[in-house]
Chain A
Amino acid sequence: MKADHQITAGFMPLLDSALIVAAKERGFAEAEGIDLTLARETSWANIRDRLAVGHFQVAHMLAPMPIACNLGLTPLASRTIVPMALGLGGNGVTVSLALWQQMEEHGARNDLDAAANGRALKAIVEKRVQAKGTRLRFAVVHPHSGHNYELRYWLAACDVDVERSIEIVILPPPLMADALWAGNIDGYCVGEPWNTAAVAQSFGHIATCKAAIWRSSPEKVLGAQERWAESHPEPLSALLRALYRAALWCAEPANREELARLLSSPTYVNRPMEWMLPALSGDIRVSTEKIVRVDDFFVPHAKAATFPWKSHALWFYTQMVRWGHIGHDKANETVVRNSYRPDLYRAALKPLGVALPGANAKVEGALKVATPVGSSGASLTLGPDGLFDGGLFDPDQIDAYIAAQARPPRP
């Protein structure tokens, strides 16, 4: 069969490239008439640049990245839209064994608990500041990443003065574990399998995870060059349907081993298959001795995991404002709102007769239990989606949310 559409997608070697990889390798793209080429990249900057010049039509992107592009925060940018998310969750925070030992002395728990482990970290940070010692150094993959914003949210909610009492540096995901081993950093927040990598090699301990900080929260998205998306509605719709079916396939426990094997191959993540399994099964090996069950560690399909909620985009925007990446005004807020495109998602998936959320945005953190919600098509269940500190984000109350998080001016 000759393909109707040629699409090239950039991706980074991470477990949450699963949907894109499965769409190609399991034939979902081909079935939609797409000849899908996947190109592995070495940096998010390359993904952004190659999307901008049209080498890629779409890419595996950090959820805040397209927003940063459209707000003009990046050195090179073209208008990038988000017609689909690529699952929920998938990150962890890993610390060195030395730091974990100190954290345990301050009440840290071996069960990924964000509150207890954040408090322990706060105590250590405090001591270091008092002793005028070196600050703890954490790495994240990009300034405009879910990792950076969730690490900061977690620590700030535990009363850590993020800007002054710790240091946050940028490192590419595959180098995180090596940097921890070499003692260049004390901890990091990254997607799988790069947390498991440190535990498997016996020099790291997973302290908490994205699902513990904010359950069912956004992580990677499909970024599409706006110019291409507007002039190629058919190929884009076909790709979204292929990715939706890929998400269903990834979510099926019977396919777990095959997915792990696919991802571990040299073309994709190029690391042992055993490193892929914890995130896919939810049995997270937090240390060499202990496995913790996390039901929502990585969610490829359930809970509308591929729906591009505008409230997700807006939450990232509030954090960009909070940490000084951008100023808040109505024009910026509008740019952010228009970056995520649930309308394109609905238009593409409607023919499949699947469950589609009725709303474009929701109050984040409001669902304490799994809740059936208004949807078109089949029935849809969302949540639980709580933030560990009980926080709520109402996208209709954005000014109040930003004001409440404003940092006191520096003395």
Chain B
Amino acid sequence: MTLRALTVLVIDENRLRASIIETGLREAGHQNVTIIHDINGIARRIQDINPDVIVIDLGNPNRDMLENMFQLSRAVKRPIAMFVDRSDVASIEAAVEAGVSAYVVDGLKQERVKPILDMAVSRFNAYSRLQRELDDARSELESRKLVERAKGILMRSKGLSEESAYALLRKTAMNQNRKIAEIAQSLITAADLLDSGTGPGTGDDR
């Protein structure tokens, strides 16, 4: 017996993450996938799509509204329950941990929905990892910029070579047991204060 293909709805305001999930679902052979970014007029959309499974990002502030809608028969033809199986504690924990919730229509077989939930969880986690890496890369770049500026200040004020300026920063950081970027940041802040704070009445002298 061939089973009817499941219709999956993904509600996520984050377009990048939504497309990562969509790709995963399609790769897993789910062709009926709809993505909604904007919850305006969502009741009508859900009625039209008539999904078997709904995947929502836990950060969505409209979750209470959406859940209420799932429980009203007007918007959804079949009542919807959360998660595949309430007794499957590990799956539930993994989903909440990953920041995703899934709702399925009543009576849908667990083994048909479980892979979808597992996929959503792993894609949410992959997205978070990607986001963290991006953040790290961004702060790495920021640190490098700070160190460059601090080096410039030391080179000017102390007449040091670039190499000696960096060595001084590194030594100070090691002595104080702080990160080199933190030392650079305080040096820049101090230099900024001194540049602008030459006292009342002297602001236009330079």
Contact = CB atoms under 8 A, between A and B. Distances in A.
Contacts of B61: 42-43, 172, 174-175
Contact of B82 (A54, A76, A141): A76
Contacts of A54: 93
A35 B204 CA distance: 52
B68 A49 contact: no
A5 interface: no
B160 interface: no
Contact of A46 (B63, B80, B83): B63
A76 B80 CA distance: 12
Interface string B72-102: 0000000011110010000011001100010
Contacts of A45: 63-64, 67, 101
A53 B83 contact: no
B81 A75 contact: yes
A169 B101 CA distance: 22
A362 interface: no
Given A45-B67, A76-B82, A76-B86, A172 B62 contact: yes
Contacts of A143: 68, 71
B97 A49 contact: no
A170 B65 contact: yes
Contact of A171 (B60, B65, B92, B93): B65
Contacts of B58: 46, 49
Contact of A52 (B67, B68, B80, B92): B92
B62 A43 contact: yes
Contacts of A309: none
Contacts of A174: 61
B76 to A, nearest CB: 13
A55 interface: yes
A172 B60 CA distance: 10
B92 A53 contact: yes
How large, as a class, is the contact surface on chain A?
A: 20 to 34
Contact of B93 (A46, A53, A142): A53
Contacts of A55: 96
A174 B64 CA distance: 13
A53 B97 contact: yes
B103 interface: yes
Nearest to A171: B65
Contact of B67 (A42, A75, A141, A171): A75
Contacts of A43: 60-64
A138 interface: no
Contact of B101 (A49, A171, A172, A175): A49
Given A49-B101, A75-B67, A171-B65, A42 B96 contact: no
A42 B86 contact: no
Nearest to B58: A46
B59 interface: yes
A172 B64 contact: yes
Contacts of B97: 53
A75 B70 CA distance: 10
B68 to A, nearest CB: 5
Given A75-B82, A76-B83, A50 B96 contact: yes
29 contacts: A42-B60, A42-B61, A44-B64, A45-B63, A45-B64, A53-B92, A53-B93, A53-B97, A54-B93, A55-B96, A75-B67, A75-B70, A75-B80, A75-B82, A75-B83, A75-B103, A76-B82, A76-B83, A76-B92, A76-B101, A141-B64, A142-B64, A169-B65, A170-B65, A170-B69, A172-B61, A172-B62, A172-B64, A172-B65
